[in-house]
Amino acid sequence: MTTSTGSAAAAPAHERVLSPGLEGVLAGETALSKVDGANGRLTYRGYRIGDLVEHGTYSSVANLLWTGDWDPEARLATSAVPDAVLTTLRALPRSAKPMDALRTAVSAWGATQTLDWPPTPEQARALTSFSPSALAAFARIREGKDIVEPDPSLNLVEGFLYQLTGETPEPATARALDAYFIVGAEHGFNASTFTARVITSTMSDIASAIAGAIGTMKGPLHGGAPSEVVDQLAKMGSVEHAEEWLRGALDRGERLMGFGHRVYRAYDPRAAALRKVAEGMEHKPDWLQTAIGVEDMALRLLAERHPDRPLKTNVEYYAAPVLMGVGLTPDLFPATFSLARHAGWTAHVLEQAADNRLIRPDVRYVGEAERDLPG
């Protein structure tokens, strides 16, 4: 982690620039991904996201992030859930949210491991392999079903679907979700990734860092948008009724979910990669056809209403159709996003630990001046 030092750090607090949300603050350096929001480009260790989706797998992309080496044959399978973690998951109420269950499972897993400092690529692999099995186990436990043990012959994404349903997924289904995992794997110093790096900077363990990242991802401003896209498409009903609904929503000052991004000012390259996958799915349900048909209409209306504010399609818009298309329920979307992000989170943990400095920003005090207690 590289931090700035010198005269700015020593300046009086009132002379420093306040940036709420740390927007625009350069807080470190990374070799993992480059997010070029102005031009709508994203690379992992220099490789374009579209090329990685077309030619790679989540296993190979995770290995790239952890090691820096591109190996298209890299393998990563799901792993068994320790008994102690299963006991913990069974103790949760069936009404528990999947994100709560995943966060709890990662914490419990960490208590069963010997996680010495510094974190290692082996720890990253072990945790990334464990979490899909844990989420699948919880999904089945809450439905009163037996858990499905992992099949080591399947790649991680195939294995996750197999453990969710008890059936080996169709290749096209597994491929669609694998593409989603790839585009969700890494995205710079977003809120959850920064959380993981802050925790790591204290020399805490990798399980603590990822549990904290999951807690951050649970917030609706970070990981919840895809399920809201599904709700939005359901309200439209069809392409024929979409324009009337869209105009009404904009007239009411409502946000169109799946459009606009804090970083991207051009078309989100992750959305472009997922649209290509969605269009190639053999059996597209009606709402997926609606999503494809509505996109250009929504972009046209947004350009009319906000000509000076670029609001382009973001990754959540096509994440929703892909996740629904592979059979996931909307309440599993944020937790599945978290599974995909494990590769990037753990890679950032490794990068932070390799050149560690405690992350400890300053804060401006705006309270009462120094005073005496009342008599």
Residues 315-352 pLDDT 10s: 778 887 788 888 898 899 999 999 999 999 999 999 99
For range 88-108, the mean pLDDT = 97
- Is residue 171 located within the same domain as residue 254? no
- Is residue 203 located within the same domain as residue 120? yes
pLDDT for position 226:
67
176 vs 110 pLDDT, higher one: 110
- Is residue 350 located within the same domain as residue 303? no
pLDDT of 5 above 60: no
Query: Would you place residue 264 in the very low, low, confident or very high pLDDT band (cuts 50, 70, 90)?
Result: low
Query: Would you place residue 284 in the very low, low, confident or very high pLDDT band (cuts 50, 70, 90)?
Result: low
Residue 3 phi/psi, 5° resolution? -120, 150
pLDDT for position 283:
66
Catalogue the active-site residues: 261, 316
Q: What is the Cα gyration radius of the chain?
A: 22
- Is residue 163 located within the same domain as residue 305? no
Tokens of 139: 């999904």
pLDDT for position 17:
82
Asked if residue 65 belongs to a domain, the reply is no
pTM: predicted TM-score of the whole model, two decimal places:
0.88
**CATH number of the domain encompassing residue 266:** 1.10.230.10
For range 8-17, the mean pLDDT = 62
- Is residue 203 located within the same domain as residue 347? yes
For range 237-258, the mean pLDDT = 87
pLDDT for position 196:
98
What CA dihedral angle connects 38, 42, 47 and 52, to 10 degrees?
-140
CA 233, CA 249: separation in Å to the nearest integer?
12
- Is residue 347 located within the same domain as residue 208? yes
CA 312, CA 258: separation in Å to the nearest integer?
9
Bond from prior residue into 118 cis (ω within 30 degrees of 0) = yes
pLDDT of 106 above 80: yes
Asked if residue 288 belongs to a domain, the reply is yes
Q: What percent of the chain has pLDDT over 90?
A: 61
- Is residue 267 located within the same domain as residue 120? no
- Is residue 90 located within the same domain as residue 204? yes
Sheet holding 41-44, edge to edge: 33-36, 41-44, 47-48
pLDDT for position 6:
41
pLDDT of 11 above 80: no
- Is residue 191 located within the same domain as residue 302? no
